[in-house]
Amino acid sequence: MSFMPEYLSPESPGVERLLIVDGHAYAYRAFYAIRSLSSPTGAATNAIYGFIRMLGKVLATVKPTHAVVVWDGGLAPERMKLLPEYKAQRPAMPSDLEQQLDEIVAYLAAANIQSFMREGGEADDYIAVLADRAAAAGWEVIIASSDKDFMQLVSPQVRLHNPNDKSESLWGAEEVRAKSGVEPTQIVDWLSLTGDAVDNIQGVPGVGAKTALNLLHKFGSVDELYRRLAEVEPVRLRNALENSQDIVRRNQALVRLNHQAPCSLSLEALAVKQSNHEALRQLFGRWGFKTLLRELEEGPLRPAELFAVKDGAA
């Protein structure tokens, strides 16, 4: 019996649609959404199960013809050179989650969904590269992540699927404007002025989201802002911007995704294929996923309630 989910077939024949999943973001979300789930041997499986259900749900929503999960391979050396404290405040990955990552990758291999990681490379940069390639080929692109950095990639061909958005709508420029107040093309400048606490990036002192928004509405870009700095009022704000120009320029380089990161994946290699039924059966059995085993034997995996666990078992 094939384990090729029925909902993976494209909505419209001839339309190529690439789904790019932010792997670590989804794994973390799955890990914290489900607690106390383990295999018959006692190994933690909560992130594995949650990841499978989350992926199934986004596949059901997006209906891609092509798909890939991109993983972080470390922090980009060029960003670390600019800011040694870049992302330094982030806690280490929980050991129970780290131990499940290879198993998630094993699931993806059995499901015939591509994984990609490059040592010393950040997933965000490779997601940008793949999105560029697919958009240049005339494909639709959906990036599945709640990371605000991806708002800079939104275009008529590139949209976002934010798992935090319960409406499950695909974000375009209108949603980016509603969330940030600026255009997708202004996201880098907006974050360069405000900074980004999540990534340990300091912004201009006294410049918060509202002030940055007002500045970009008036001047359009950081370049134009500094060209016409004498027009900025009050003087206190003008002085803060003048004294922080090096910081803002550095932040632009930190926040802007690297569209030139080397990536060996071809778009053709990302085509959705039939899953390996026997490999999935063995994995689900090893992990003790009784519900998924039953669904596997009954037919295509259905997009069940997110993180649903029936009868107390996975």
| CATH class as words, domain 6-172+259-298 | alpha beta
From the options 1.10.760.10, 3.90.1520.10, 1.10.150.20, 1.20.210.10, give the CATH code of 184-255: 1.10.150.20
Average pLDDT over residues 152-180: 92
Angstrom distance (rounded) from CA 140 to CA 131: 9
Domain map (residue ranges) of the chain: 6-172+259-298, 184-255
Q: How confident is the model at residue 13 (pLDDT cuts 50, 70, 90)?
A: low
Find the Cα–Cα–Cα–Cα dihedral 246, 152, 143, 129, rounded to 10°: -70
pLDDT digits (tens, 9 = 90+) for 56-65: 999 988 999 9
Contacts of residue 91, defined as CB under 8 A and 6 or more positions apart, other chains included, come to none
> Is the pLDDT assigned to residue 300 strictly greater than 80?
no
pLDDT attached to residue 234: 96
HSE toward the beta carbon, residue 80, CA cutoff 13 A: 8
Average pLDDT over residues 248-277: 94
Using only the alpha carbons of the chain, give its radius of gyration.
21
Average pLDDT over residues 264-276: 92
Q: How confident is the model at residue 251 (pLDDT cuts 50, 70, 90)?
A: very high
Cα dihedral sign, 207-208-211-217: positive
pLDDT attached to residue 302: 41
pLDDT digits (tens, 9 = 90+) for 156-165: 999 999 988 8
pLDDT, averaged across the chain: 90
pLDDT attached to residue 298: 81
pLDDT attached to residue 3: 38
> Is the pLDDT assigned to residue 306 strictly greater than 70?
no
> Is the pLDDT assigned to residue 269 strictly greater than 80?
yes
pLDDT digits (tens, 9 = 90+) for 110-135: 999 999 999 989 999 999 999 999 99
Residue 284's φ and ψ, nearest 5 degrees, are: -60, -40
> Is the pLDDT assigned to residue 260 strictly greater than 80?
yes
Contacts of residue 199, defined as CB under 8 A and 6 or more positions apart, other chains included, come to 86, 87, 254
Q: Where are the alpha helices (DSSP H) in the chain?
A: 23-33, 46-62, 77-82, 95-110, 123-136, 173-180, 187-194, 209-219, 222-227, 235-243, 245-255, 277-287, 290-298
Q: Which residue has the higher pLDDT, 142 or 10?
A: 142
